[in-house]
A and B are shown apart, each in its own frame.
Chain A
Amino acid sequence: MGGRKKTLLGMAALMLLTAPLVAPAWAEDGPGTVEIGSLANHYSAVTFDHAMHTGVASSCAECHHHTTGLAPTDPTCARCHEAGAKAGSVACKDCHSDKRFSAEDLAKIGEKPQLYHKGKPGLKGAYHRKCLGCHTTMGGPTGCQDCHTRNDKGDAFFNAGKYAPAPSTSAGHGGGH
Chain B
Amino acid sequence: MKMFNRRSFLKGGLAGGAAIAAVGTSKQAEAAGSFGGYPDSMGVLVDLTKCVGCRTCEAACNKEQGLPAPDKSFDDPSVFEEKREGGLPRRTTEKAYTVVQKYDVPGREHPLFRKVQCNHCNEPACLTSCFVNAYKKTPEGAVMYDPTVCVGCRTCMVACPFYIPAYSYSSAINPVVKKCIMCYDTRLKFGKPPACVEACPQEVMTFGKRKDLLKLAHQRISEKPDAYVDHVYGETEVGGTAWMYLSDVPFDKIGYDTHLGDQPIISYVKEFLAVVPMVLTIWPALFTGFHLLSNRKDALKNEENKS
Q: Does A85 contact B (CB under 8 A)?
A: no
Q: List residues of A (72-126) whose CB comes within 8 Å of B's CBs.
A: 75-76, 100-101, 103, 106, 109-110, 113, 116, 118-119, 121-122, 124-125
Interface residues of B, dominant DSSP: mixed
Contact A173 B83 (CB under 8 A): yes
Q: How large is the interface on A (under 10, 10 to 19, 20 to 34, 35 or more residues)?
A: 35 or more
Within 8 A of A (CB), among B198-254: 198, 200-203, 206-209, 212-213, 215-216, 219-220, 223
A164: Cβ under 8 A from any B Cβ: yes
Check if A5 is an interface residue, CB within 8 A of chain B.
Answer: no
Query: In the assembled complex, how far is the CB of residue A88 from the closest CB belonging to chain B, in whole angstroms?
Result: 25
- Residues B58-93 near A (CB distance < 8 A): 59-60, 62-63, 69-76, 79, 82-85, 90, 93
Residues of B close to A174: CB separation below 8 A: 71, 79, 82-84, 90
Residues of A close to B102: CB separation below 8 A = none
Query: Which B residue sits closest to A167, measured CB to CB?
Result: B72
- B73 touches which of A106, A125, A136, A165 (Cβ 8 Å): A165
Does B269 sit at the interface, judged by CB under 8 A?
Answer: no
Distance (whole angstroms) from the CB of B175 to the closest CB of chain A: 16
On chain A, the residues within 8 Å of B73 by CB distance are: 158-160, 164-165
- A119 to chain B: which residues have CB within 8 Å? 206, 216, 219-220
Q: How far is the CB of A1 from chain B (nearest CB, A)?
A: 11
- Once the chains bind, are B202 and A170 in contact (CB under 8 Å)? no
For the complex, what is the distance from the CA of A144 to the CA of B75, rounded to whole Å? Answer: 10
B212 closest partner in A (C-beta): A113
Sample of 16 A–B contacts (CB below 8 Å): A103-B192, A116-B216, A121-B203, A124-B201, A125-B203, A129-B203, A132-B52, A136-B110, A158-B73, A158-B74, A158-B75, A160-B74, A165-B69, A165-B73, A173-B83, A176-B304
Please list the residues of chain A having a beta carbon within 8 angstroms of any beta carbon in chain B: 75-76, 100-101, 103, 106, 109-110, 113, 116, 118-119, 121-122, 124-125, 128-129, 132, 136, 142, 144, 157-160, 164-165, 169-171, 173-177
